[in-house]
Structure 1
Amino acid sequence: MTKIDYEDPSLYTNRELSWLDFNDRVLEEARQKTNPLLERLNFLGITQSNMDEFVMVRVASLAKLIAVEWDGRDASGLTPTQQLKAVNDKAHEQLIKQYTTLNRILLPAIKQVGINLLQVDELTDEQFRYIKDYFHDELYPVLTPMADDSSRPFPFISNDTINLSLRLTKKDSDKSLYATLQVPKIFPRVVKLPGGENDFILLENIIERFVSQLFINYDIQEVAVFRVIRDMDLDVAEEDTSDLLKEVQQQLKLRAHGKVIRLEVASTISKKLRKRLVRELKTDEDSVYEVNGPVDLNFLGKLADKVTGHDDLKYIPFKPYQNEKLTSEYNIFDTIKQHDQLMQHPYDKFDSVVEFIRQASIDEGVLAIKMTLYRVSGNSPIIKYLGRAAQNGKQVTVLVEVKARFDEENNVHWARELEQMGCHVIYGLVGLKTHSKLSLVVRREESGIRRYVHLGTGNYNDSTAHFYTDIGLLTANNNIGVDVTNIFNMLSGYSKPPYFHKLHISPNGIREFMINRLDLAIEYAKSDRPVRVRMKMNSLSDQEMIAKMYEASHAGVTIDLIIRGICCLKPGIKGISDNITVHSIVGRFLEHSRIYIFDFDGEQQVYLASADLMTRNLNRRVEQMFPIEKPTLLKRVLDIYQTMWDDNVKTRVLEADGTYHRVDRRGHASLDAQEFFAAQATHLVMANKEKKHHNNPDQFQPMMSPENQNEPLGD
């Protein structure tokens, strides 16, 4: 019998191309007529911000590998040069689709409902006078034209800024001269105009119209808008962490001058000016993207936010639920001690997690708080309460991951703030990012010392918690408390626990556990015992994990995967992955929770984790995986997974050829899992209000006129 090579490159999809497929699914949401119109604008803007980060990090990494002539191949068998070529080809196709979506679908659609993104020649006299005054009174004093000639070299172009490239001539001369003008970021890019309720113009269009006033005695021959995306990956040398904060701060300064990875220019640019920009910016020809419309679509989300009087073109708001026993009206520690608490954000309020830290900061019995912070909001209440706890005499230890990508500057700031407030701050481990989401509260009670723990799949970010789906657990389980204590001792000192009671920890621990579970599933399948594996994650790219899934599928194990983003596994290959099905959900909220379920002949094992099955998460990060054991909570996680698996509105199914298609729901009732959970949360909130209403007999009952007696009262 021929042995199957589960690491055969033909069995794998390239990671970068798979990511581009994910961004295309986001782009499909912008084209989907069933989505509210302003939300479709927002989806299109998200495709741009996604692409920018992808270029700054992933494409930049490929460029570095090529520069050092690295001759390795990825799991799919492609060299860095082949990958970069394929990525640029696919990204060019996606760019055309983005601007077709904007110009042919979305701009005409918003115009029909009275929302106008105008050009200068479309303005009324009143609107033209407004932009003229705006230019002279606000913009002119701030703008700085940068000439480019023999005495003044081509200026440095900052990452992700809108710029005008100008070709001009002196009066009575034919000689071409050149200049560059950066559109200042201190002004809103989307400018609301008078005269129409929802008339807007882009800032660069105003500047372009009056730019000649910055070049007196010169004639403007050509103006072209452009933008560069630079290599923004952070390269931190980590022999030790004694000066890690200074090293990160230094690297942040250097990063601003990274190599240009992508150049976007208006498609109206002349060959001469285009060639000049390519030469001065030292850009590869494949990395030049000509756009048929406004450069940089990130403004679309701001445009949607500025529109007034059109709430009907946005998602219907929902009311997130909060268990009243996790509010300030109750002692949260008594609640957790009585029963573990499971929260699914954003349908359950993140306020409960904030309340956990708030009560810990003022509770007289609390001795210590320990916490990992990977990403927090710009005005984090959790930071405030940690500081308050330290000032109240509690021992507060916070690991702030200052290497969290694109949050480095924010995290350096919070690390300094926490130190000034009296917290003990750890900056991370050498060679590892700490991506785990852990909080530990140590409390003295009558029965002795008790540990309270929060574990989550998502960051302690009260802002993103409104639109990221994550699951968190609050527990007083002693074994979990001991495990989390050991993790913090490992992070802050030299402790290396010989084993963990309940948790599985990366590096290595989660990989070993997952391989062990899949090996057990293979044994069950070979013994003809029922076995099923279900997982949900953001990305699946680790070759060893995929190979083990192929082996399990070949043995007869049924594997269901919900993967939002990257998936390097190919399902449906006869004899190898024909027992594997892959779904992807892209919708109103960003699916961020990680769920791992093993069903061994009816024995359900359910785990949540901070980690995806990517090599970086399994090998180079501190991550945690934790069990859900309480029967009611275990059932809830299973129900959450099943609801998402049954989704037939936002789900796409991955085929063996790498394409995704929507579920055929003919003859089936529509199920949008995210909207189902949102409606469920709203129903719980209203039911609780009704319950409180009936439980309060002294509450004033308004008289109703007879004709209105059957109508419901408003909120």
Structure 2
Amino acid sequence: MSEETMAITLPTSPHGLAPDRYLDREISWLAFNRRVLEMAEDNSIPLLERVNYLSIFASNMDEFFMVRVAGLQRRLATGLAVRSPSGLSPKEVLSSISKDAHELQLRHAHLFLDVIEPELEQNGIHLVRWPELREDEKQHLKSYFEDHIFPVLTPLAVDPAHPFPYISGLSLNLAVVLKKAESPIEHFARVKVPPLLPRFVLIPSKEDTSEVRYVPLEDVIGEFISLLFPGMEVVQHHNFRVTRNEDLDVDEDEGENLLLALEKELLRRRFGPPVRLEIADDMNPQVLELLIRELDISKQDVYTLPSPLDLTGLQDIASLPRPELRNRPHQVLTNRYLHPRDDEELDIFAVLKKRE
């Protein structure tokens, strides 16, 4: 061995590094979901795969707000406004998230309405609105409403005897404005869209055709919503959706009480504070002000979007049996050296030794 001394270069002092050398975890996660959206925008990808990416993007955003945004808001509320390694405070991160998330959600909604939905129609998959339906289709949906939807609806009105109802997380709702025929006083009611029913209602076709037609479930409810309020006049109704804090805050070091702490935290999570309010872009400003006040949510956390809201339900459309509109299935092939002979069992180690 040479007696010469080897030169060793020591790393430079961290004090000389740029303060913004780290990416913020939450902001970088949004950049990841932006990439998911870009996959939906890629017209070289089969159509139903792009629809699936739209659904994944929406589901990812739900999870992001329920956990990541909720965690940041809780840190602010408890006074733990410590800067992250990226150098940003929770308030600065939330401001950046709000800016990016508003842009991404609008981009997501318009991609579906302006690009994906027309392409679906060209391929015989139609998402129609109520005025576009034929009379026989309207009659079928009226029967469907009476038999399947009406029995599971629970309208909740707001009046001096009934406070503003609890709005569960990720539920799609109709905000309904009512009044009596002889009175100018308007009342508010909330109708929850049943989550157990299909997000998009299939309209049966009398013709033997590969084309399918769907109508959003909330459109069907909205058309017959007056049946829920006999003796009242429905002035207007609007769609909205609430995302709540569902982040878990459990001290895992408390082994003896971990189960009890987890049970309490899961119960508390159901009633976590709202972190996002999605509203249809035709919502009356007075109704919006009521929701903001009663939900105790900031205007920064309100997302105004074109209908339909909650595009996680596109997963049902992405699952349609149209193989020509999705990627070819992956064919699993076994390496020829790993095929056992008829008269002997495969010895993987012998194959590895031989092929080395």
Alignment TM-score, normalising by the size of structure 2:
0.88
Which residue does the alignment assign to 2:3? none
The AA in structure 2 aligned to 1:115 is: I
Which residue does the alignment assign to 1:497? none
Tell me, yes or no, if structure 1 residue 311 matches structure 2 residue 323.
yes
- The worse-fitting range, judged by mean Cα deviation, of 109-118 and 247-256 is 247-256
The AA in structure 2 aligned to 1:200 is: Y
Which residue does the alignment assign to 1:86? 96
Tell me, yes or no, if structure 1 residue 268 matches structure 2 residue 282.
yes
Q: 1:331 to 1:182 in 2, by over 3 A?
A: farther
1:108 to 118, 125, 135: 118
1:32 to 35, 42, 50: 42
Tell me, yes or no, if structure 1 residue 201 matches structure 2 residue 211.
no
Tell me, yes or no, if structure 1 residue 57 matches structure 2 residue 67.
yes
Which residue does the alignment assign to 2:8? none
The AA in structure 2 aligned to 1:320 is: V
Residues of 2 paired with 1:331 and 1:239: CA distance?
53
The AA in structure 1 aligned to 2:111 is: T
Residues of 2 paired with 1:255 and 1:185: CA distance?
19
Residues of 1 paired with 2:323 and 2:170: CA distance?
31
The AA in structure 2 aligned to 1:185 is: P
For residues 599-646 of structure 1, the C-alpha deviation after alignment (integer angstroms, 9 at most, x for no partner) is xxxxxxxxxxxxxxxxxxxxxxxxxxxxxxx9989xxxxxxxxxxxxx
Tell me, yes or no, if structure 1 residue 129 matches structure 2 residue 139.
yes
Which residue does the alignment assign to 2:150? 140
The AA in structure 2 aligned to 1:168 is: L
The AA in structure 2 aligned to 1:257 is: F
Task: Indicate conservation of the 8 Å contact 1:159/1:256, yes or no.
Answer: yes
The AA in structure 1 aligned to 2:43 is: K
The AA in structure 2 aligned to 1:66 is: L
| More strand per residue | 1
For residues 558-616 of structure 1, the C-alpha deviation after alignment (integer angstroms, 9 at most, x for no partner) is xxxxxxxxxxxxxxxxxxxxxxxxxxxxxxxxxxxxxxxxxxxxxxxxxxxxxxxxxxx
Task: Indicate conservation of the 8 Å contact 1:26/1:43, yes or no.
Answer: yes
Tell me, yes or no, if structure 1 residue 71 matches structure 2 residue 71.
no
Which residue does the alignment assign to 1:185? 195
Q: Which SS does the other structure have where 2:238 is aligned? A: strand
Which residue does the alignment assign to 1:422? none
Residues of 1 paired with 2:225 and 2:301: CA distance?
28
Structure 1 residue 93 displacement after superposition:
0.8
Tell me, yes or no, if structure 1 residue 298 matches structure 2 residue 312.
yes
Q: Which SS does the other structure have where 1:151 is aligned? A: coil
Which residue does the alignment assign to 1:174? 184
Which residue does the alignment assign to 1:320? 332
Which residue does the alignment assign to 1:255? 269
The AA in structure 2 aligned to 1:111 is: E
Which residue does the alignment assign to 1:149? 159
Structure 1 residue 198 displacement after superposition:
1.0
- The worse-fitting range, judged by mean Cα deviation, of 128-137 and 65-74 is 65-74
Structure 1 residue 245 displacement after superposition:
3.6
1:240 to 254, 257, 273: 254
Structure 1 residue 238 displacement after superposition:
2.9
Task: Indicate conservation of the 8 Å contact 1:126/1:194, yes or no.
Answer: no
Structure 1 residue 233 displacement after superposition:
0.9
Task: Indicate conservation of the 8 Å contact 1:7/1:75, yes or no.
Answer: no
What are the ranges of 5 or more consecutive residues in structure 1 without an aligned counterpart?
A: 341-629, 634-715
Q: Give the alignment's Cα RMSD to 1 decimal.
A: 2.7
Structure 1 residue 134 displacement after superposition:
0.3
Q: Which SS does the other structure have where 1:319 is aligned? A: coil
Which residue does the alignment assign to 1:708? none
Q: 1:150 to 1:335 in 2, by over 3 A?
A: farther
Q: 1:22 to 1:2 in 2, by over 3 A?
A: closer
Structure 1 residue 322 displacement after superposition:
5.5
Q: Which SS does the other structure have where 2:277 is aligned? A: strand
Tell me, yes or no, if structure 1 residue 22 matches structure 2 residue 32.
yes
Residues of 1 paired with 2:355 and 2:263: CA distance?
47
Q: 1:8 to 1:75 in 2, by over 3 A?
A: farther
Residues of 1 paired with 2:179 and 2:229: CA distance?
10
Which residue does the alignment assign to 1:643? none
Equivalences for residues 507-586 of structure 1 within 5 A: none
Residues of 2 paired with 1:250 and 1:277: CA distance?
28
Q: Which SS does the other structure have where 2:261 is aligned? A: helix
Q: Which SS does the other structure have where 1:232 is aligned? A: coil
Q: Which SS does the other structure have where 2:234 is aligned? A: strand
Q: 1:31 to 1:294 in 2, by over 3 A?
A: same
1:231 to 245, 254, 266: 245
Equivalences for residues 386-465 of structure 1 within 5 A: none
Q: 1:326 to 1:294 in 2, by over 3 A?
A: farther
Q: Which SS does the other structure have where 2:242 is aligned? A: strand
Residues of 2 paired with 1:239 and 1:311: CA distance?
50
Structure 1 residue 104 displacement after superposition:
1.0
Residues of 1 paired with 2:347 and 2:295: CA distance?
60
Which residue does the alignment assign to 1:43? 53
Structure 1 residue 10 displacement after superposition:
2.2
Residues of 2 paired with 1:296 and 1:177: CA distance?
26
Tell me, yes or no, if structure 1 residue 281 matches structure 2 residue 304.
no
Structure 1 residue 164 displacement after superposition:
0.8
Q: 1:632 to 1:17 in 2, by over 3 A?
A: farther
Residues of 2 paired with 1:204 and 1:230: CA distance?
21
What are the ranges of 5 or more consecutive residues in structure 2 without an aligned counterpart?
A: 1-10
Q: Which SS does the other structure have where 2:40 is aligned? A: helix
Which structure is richer in relative contact order (CA contacts within 8 A, separation 6 or more)? 2
Alignment TM-score, normalising by the size of structure 1:
0.45
Residues of 2 paired with 1:218 and 1:70: CA distance?
49
The AA in structure 2 aligned to 1:238 is: E
Which residue does the alignment assign to 1:675? none
Residues of 2 paired with 1:167 and 1:22: CA distance?
40
Percent of matched pairs sharing the same residue: 36
1:97 to 77, 101, 107: 107
Which residue does the alignment assign to 2:7? none
For residues 264-293 of structure 1, the C-alpha deviation after alignment (integer angstroms, 9 at most, x for no partner) is 111110100001001111111100001112
Q: 1:94 to 1:330 in 2, by over 3 A?
A: farther
Task: Indicate conservation of the 8 Å contact 1:162/1:226, yes or no.
Answer: yes
For residues 125-153 of structure 1, the C-alpha deviation after alignment (integer angstroms, 9 at most, x for no partner) is 22111110000011111111101111111
Q: 1:2 to 1:232 in 2, by over 3 A?
A: closer
Length, aligned pairs only: 340
Task: Indicate conservation of the 8 Å contact 1:157/1:228, yes or no.
Answer: yes
Residues of 1 paired with 2:43 and 2:287: CA distance?
39
The AA in structure 1 aligned to 2:332 is: P
Structure 1 residue 338 displacement after superposition:
5.5
Residues of 1 paired with 2:64 and 2:261: CA distance?
24
Residues of 2 paired with 1:250 and 1:321: CA distance?
49
Q: Which SS does the other structure have where 1:141 is aligned? A: helix
Structure 1 residue 8 displacement after superposition:
3.0
Task: Indicate conservation of the 8 Å contact 1:164/1:180, yes or no.
Answer: yes
Task: Indicate conservation of the 8 Å contact 1:169/1:220, yes or no.
Answer: yes
Which residue does the alignment assign to 2:20? 10
